Structure 1
C-alpha cells in the first residue's frame, strides 16, 4: 500500500503564488484607498479654510463702512482690518492667492474697501502637496 501524505513542491509553489497574488491585490486596494482618503481630507480642509476666510471678509463687509485688505504676493498671505490690515486671513499651512475688486476681481496689494459696493473676491488656496482649491464669490451689504 502506497499512502503518501503531504504536498508536492509544485502544489506548495502554486499555493504560495496564489497567496502572493491575492495579498498584492488587497494591499493595492488598501494603499489606493489611503491615498484617496488623504487627498479628500486635504480638499475638505482647504474648503473649510476658504469658508473661514470668506466669512471674515463678509463680516467686515457687513459691520463696517470701510475696511482694508492687504495681500502680500511674495509671502502668499492676506490680512484684513478696519483701520489697517493687521489680522491674518486663513492660516499659514496654505499658500493663498487673493484677488478682489468691483465688479471683477483684480490683483491687489493694499486696498480700502467701500462696503456700499458689492466686492467680488477670488480666492485660491494651494497646499504643500500642490493641490489647489479655488472659489469666487461676491460679497454685498444688505
Structure 2
C-alpha cells in the first residue's frame, strides 16, 4: 500500500508543454487549410455567378438576333446597366451594381474583314441580324473578370 502512494505516475511539465506545442502546430495547419479552402470556394462561386450572368446575356442576344428585324445594345456606365432594345421598343435591362459590362461586336463573315464597333455603342446604331455578328462580352466584378466570345447568326 505504501508503494502505491509513493508511485506518482502522471505527466511532467515537459511532456505537457511538448503536447501543447504539437497540438498548436497541428491546429495552425488545419486553420490554414480550412480558410484556404473557404477562399477557393468563394472564388468558385464568384466565377459561376459571372458565367451565369454571361450565359443569360448571350442567350438574350441570341434570341434577339434570331427573332428581331433589328435590335440595339446600350451600356450605361453610370448605372452599370446593359440594355437591349428590340425592334418594337421593348427593353431588356440587365443591371448589377457590383458588375461592370463591356461589349464589342464585329459584323461580317470573318473578324479580319469585319467592321468594328466598340463598347458602349454610341450612337445607338441598330444591329442588323441578317449578318453574322461576332460578340465579345466582358463582365468585370471587384475580384475577377469573365470574357465570352461568340458568333451570332440566323439560320
Same fold judged by TM-score > 0.5?
Answer: yes
TM-score, with normalisation over the residues of structure 2? 0.82
Runs of 4+ in 1 over 3 A off after TM superposition: 73-76, 89-93
1:116 to 122, 130, 135: 130
- The reply on whether 1:106 has 2:111 as its aligned counterpart is no
- With over 3 angstroms needed to count, the CA separation of the structure-2 counterparts of 1:18 and 1:105, relative to structure 1, is farther
Unaligned runs of 5+ in 1: none
| Cα drift, residue 130 of structure 1 | 2.4
- With over 3 angstroms needed to count, the CA separation of the structure-2 counterparts of 1:121 and 1:72, relative to structure 1, is same
1:25 maps to 29
2:92 to 64, 87, 93: 87
- With over 3 angstroms needed to count, the CA separation of the structure-2 counterparts of 1:50 and 1:57, relative to structure 1, is same
TM-score, with normalisation over the residues of structure 1? 0.89
Q: Count the aligned residue pairs.
A: 141
Two-structure CA RMSD over aligned residues (Å): 1.8
Equivalents in 2 of 1:105, 1:8: separation in Å? 78
